[in-house]
Amino acid sequence: MRVQTCLVKLFAERHKELPDKEAQGRMSDTAEMIFRTIQCFQNDGKLDVNELDQIVKIALQDGHVDEAEKNVLKNIIYNLTSKDLTAELWARVEQLVKHYELDK
DSSP sequence for 45-71: S---HHHHHHHHHHHGGGSS--HHHHH
Q: Where are the domains of the chain?
A: 2-100
Asked whether the CA dihedral 40, 43, 46, 50 is positive or negative, the reply is negative
Give the residue, 22 or 82, on which the prediction is more confident.
Answer: 82
pLDDT score of 74 more than 70: yes
Instruction: Render pLDDT for 13-30 as a digit per residue (tens, 0 to 9).
Output: 655 544 444 555 555 799
Q: Name the average pLDDT for the chain.
A: 83
pTM: 0.75
